[in-house]
């Protein structure tokens, strides 16, 4: 028995070693990211109260100055810079706004939110005001879905008494319409997701020295490896594009029928969107599944409490490991359905629920 276990373990090490290395690497990265996440949570709380002193000190530290566009914590640094710019804008401290949005643009000059803050700050300078106003005008035409450009431009019109209520109404409706289209639901099989649960169980059984269960788990892992190496079906991927629309109870639904062996689901938000997914639920074959936070992975979005927030990145998305949730039904196909509430930012930066009525009104013709 022991010899057999050692043989299976050797096979496991040979074939899964890259995954173990990746797992250890991912663990190190997780600890690394936790440090940034903790500091980010702290300073965002201060910014919510309008306090900027410690935030500026943090961004000036060597650790955070070294975070650049392609680094994993950059999305956190961007959120801090974005929130800092919001505070300086709200307090009309345009000199500091210009200073810090310049820092932001040195890292990523293509960031549309940074462009909007840049031109807004310039519009309040003595010598470059016209450049700023022209930039806001061009930006709101080039990026009709960007709330900041739309908001800053129409605020500048209001300042000069040149407000067109019909235009504002039209822009508000466009924001709603653009938030409802461009969604994607993707699925695939990933070895690291499929192996996550049996590897965790293997660790537990080894600690308990329960050799019978160790044997059973190693056999499961071996079957996974065999599937990965020999079965072309694991290479299968799929996706659907959606235009979402809330039901009369204001819930959004994304659903698809997918191969049962799929381990991973991914939702892509509309590009450059400023929306928040809240109260997310998952159903598989009509049964609601309880999903823990450690099954989620995020890219270009912020996860906070019961919400996932997209803040203007080009490719915001999150993925979910369902390998431990999807094997209970019969047949080769399963139906997956996400249900959630959707909040969006209006022309003036206010967060509002995308209700059935709001969605319906956005489709009404503007005379």
Dump pLDDT digits (tens) for 198-230: 666 677 777 777 777 777 767 776 766 666 566
Tokens linked to 226: 């065999």
Which pTM value belongs to this model? 0.66
Lowest mean per-residue pLDDT among 167-176, 229-238, 277-286, 350-359? 229-238
Tokens linked to 147: 């709330």
Residue 304 has pLDDT above 70, yes or no: yes
Residue 366 has pLDDT above 60, yes or no: no
**Percent of the chain's residues with pLDDT above 70:** 80
Tokens 């070294």 belong to residue: 66
For 291-333, the DSSP string reads: --GGGEEEESEEEETTEEEE-S-SS-EEEEE-TTTS-SS-SSE
Residue 288 host element (H or E):
strand 287-289
What is the rounded distance in angstroms from the CA atom of residue 278 to the CA atom of residue 354?
Answer: 11
Residue 10: the pLDDT is 45
**Per-state percent for the chain, helix, strand, coil, to nearest 5:** 55, 20, 25
Q: CB within 8 A of 241, min separation 6: which ones? A: 182, 183, 184
Top pLDDT among 48 and 291 is at 291
Question: What average pLDDT does the chain have?
Answer: 82
Q: Alpha helix (H) ranges present in 49-93?
A: 53-60, 62-65, 74-90
């Amino acid at each position: 028995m022991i010899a057999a276990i050692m043989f299976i373990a050797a096979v496991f090490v040979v074939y899964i070693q890259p995954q173990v290395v990746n797992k250890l690497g991912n663990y190190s990265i997780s600890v690394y990211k936790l440090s940034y996440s903790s500091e980010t949570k702290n300073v965002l709380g201060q910014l919510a109260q309008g306090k900027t002193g410690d935030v500026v000190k943090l961004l000036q530290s060597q650790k955070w100055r070294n975070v650049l566009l392609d680094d994993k914590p950059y999305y956190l640094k961007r959120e801090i810079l974005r929130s800092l710019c919001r505070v300086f804008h709200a307090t009309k401290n345009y000199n500091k706004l210009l200073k810090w949005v310049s820092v932001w643009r040195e890292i990523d000059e293509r960031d549309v939110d940074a462009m909007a803050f840049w031109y807004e700050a310039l519009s309040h300078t003595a010598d470059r005001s016209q450049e700023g106003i022209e930039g806001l005008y061009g930006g709101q035409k080039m990026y009709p879905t960007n709330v900041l450009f739309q908001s800053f431009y129409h605020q500048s019109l209001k300042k000069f008494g040149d407000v067109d209520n019909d235009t504002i109404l039209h822009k508000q409706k466009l924001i709603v319409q653009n938030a409802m289209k461009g969604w994607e639901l993707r699925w695939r099989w990933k070895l690291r997701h499929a192996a996550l649960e049996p590897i965790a169980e293997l660790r537990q059984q080894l600690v308990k020295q329960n050799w019978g269960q160790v044997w059973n788990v190693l056999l499961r892992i071996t079957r996974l490896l065999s599937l990965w190496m020999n079965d072309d079906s694991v290479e299968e991927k799929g996706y659907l594009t959606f235009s979402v629309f809330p039901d009369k109870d204001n819930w959004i639904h994304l659903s698809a029928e997918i191969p049962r062996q799929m381990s991973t689901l991914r939702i892509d938000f509309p590009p450059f969107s400023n929306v928040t997914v809240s109260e997310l639920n998952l159903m598989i074959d009509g049964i609601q599944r309880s999903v823990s936070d450690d099954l989620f992975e995020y890219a270009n979005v912020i996860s906070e409490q019961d919400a996932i927030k997209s803040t203007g990145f080009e490719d915001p998305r999150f993925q979910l490991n369902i390998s431990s949730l999807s094997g209970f039904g019969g047949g080769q196909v399963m139906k997956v359905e996400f249900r959630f509430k959707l909040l969006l930012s209006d022309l003036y930066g206010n967060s509002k629920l995308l209700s059935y009525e709001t969605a319906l009104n956005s489709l009404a013709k503007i005379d």
